[in-house]
Amino acid sequence: MFDVLFQKASDLNAQGQPFALAIVVRHETPISGKPGDKAIILADGSIQGWIGGGCTQPVIISEARKALADGQPRLVRVTPSSDHTEEGIVEHTMTCHSGGTLDIYIEPVLPRPNLVILGKSVVAQTLARLGKVLNYRIIAVAPDTGPEHFPDADVVESAFDLSSLPFTQQTFIVVSTQGEGDEEALAAALKVDVPYVAFVASQKKAKALFKELQEMGISKEELARIRTPAGFNIQAHLPEEIAVSILAEIIYVMRSTKPSAVVEGEASPAGDAIDPICGMTVDIATAKHTATYEGETYYFCCPACKRSFEKEPETYVLVDSE
């Protein structure tokens, strides 16, 4: 299982897919999970591996998705009773499982950000060099270019066609063509759904180019996605200074917005429900166990809770309403 899981983790990393690694670090009997048990959990809630059965899995899946949303690891405790809450531990009190306590460490593993640079200007080459220092995946795209122009790039392409490149929502595009295929590069950048597209140019030049792009059929709404001049205004003049200002803006965007692949890790827009048996929070969108009583749907963390409800639904509905 160890080899299978870590091969899976390696494959997900290569694909640029986010995932969370959950590892059992402590347990108190009786409970099925044991220290060293581990699982990989994706943003959609799918799981591979073993960290305990019954009600444990839904709890850990929910916390793993939250970890993918905020990028923060957490230590989760599943226990039948609690006298006090310890700092640094996310505790879930569960009365429906077999007893015992389980502590599980969850580590989100997020892909490296993609920095896509269109153009081979001095600013473009400098941006690639500094982006590599930040451990970004550098993708350089420009006609008549090669590794000699971008020795730090992970990928070098010679055509302004981004359709075949493996993008994630942690992708940031900077157009720094400086007169060599400006329109073509900008049009290609706007075809990709990413949180950041910037153009290294003066406002005067950008305004003229945007007018030409509108004549090509690109709407004002699409053009409004382009940040120009690229980067924060730090009075930059040298290529290195301009590159620093752009990377600062990218960092700001990346830290203040959540990529859609990661947002999926948050609670669904459908909201949460409370399991009427054990009181656990259940994500409505991904709930596997439901029951309908008097026209209302109830959600459960595990089959055992659902069975208990179906035996005496009026009892739990009354308690819940009180």
221 plus 159 within the same structural domain: yes
307 plus 229 within the same structural domain: no
pLDDT tens, residue order, the chain (322 aa)? 567 888 898 888 877 788 999 999 988 876 677 889 999 999 888 899 988 776 788 888 889 988 988 888 999 988 877 666 778 888 887 766 556 788 999 999 988 899 999 999 999 999 999 999 999 999 999 988 888 899 989 999 888 888 888 777 789 999 999 888 899 999 999 998 888 999 999 989 999 999 999 998 999 999 999 999 999 999 999 999 999 999 999 999 988 765 444 333 344 445 678 888 877 777 787 778 899 988 889 988 778 788 888 888 888 775 554 4
Q: What is the pLDDT of residue 82?
A: 67
Is 38 within the bounds of a domain?
A: yes
119 plus 247 within the same structural domain: yes
Q: What is the pLDDT of residue 235?
A: 92
| Domain ranges, residue 292 | 272-321
pTM listed for this prediction: 0.65
Is 3 within the bounds of a domain?
A: no
Q: What is the pLDDT of residue 257?
A: 61
Q: What is the pLDDT of residue 269?
A: 43
Is 317 within the bounds of a domain?
A: yes
246 plus 171 within the same structural domain: yes
CATH of the domain at 127: 3.40.50.720
245 plus 124 within the same structural domain: yes
Is 206 within the bounds of a domain?
A: yes
104 plus 122 within the same structural domain: no
Q: What is the pLDDT of residue 264?
A: 36
Overall domain count for the chain? 3
Is 2 within the bounds of a domain?
A: no
Last residue within a domain, chosen from 109, 139, 157: 109
Is the Cβ–Cβ distance between 98 and 154 less than 8 Å?
A: no
Last residue within a domain, chosen from 210, 227, 261: 261
156 plus 233 within the same structural domain: yes
Q: What is the pLDDT of residue 83?
A: 66
159 plus 290 within the same structural domain: no
137 plus 254 within the same structural domain: yes
Is 64 within the bounds of a domain?
A: yes
Is 267 within the bounds of a domain?
A: no
213 plus 310 within the same structural domain: no
56 plus 120 within the same structural domain: no
Is 5 within the bounds of a domain?
A: no
170 plus 35 within the same structural domain: no
Last residue within a domain, chosen from 261, 284, 312: 261
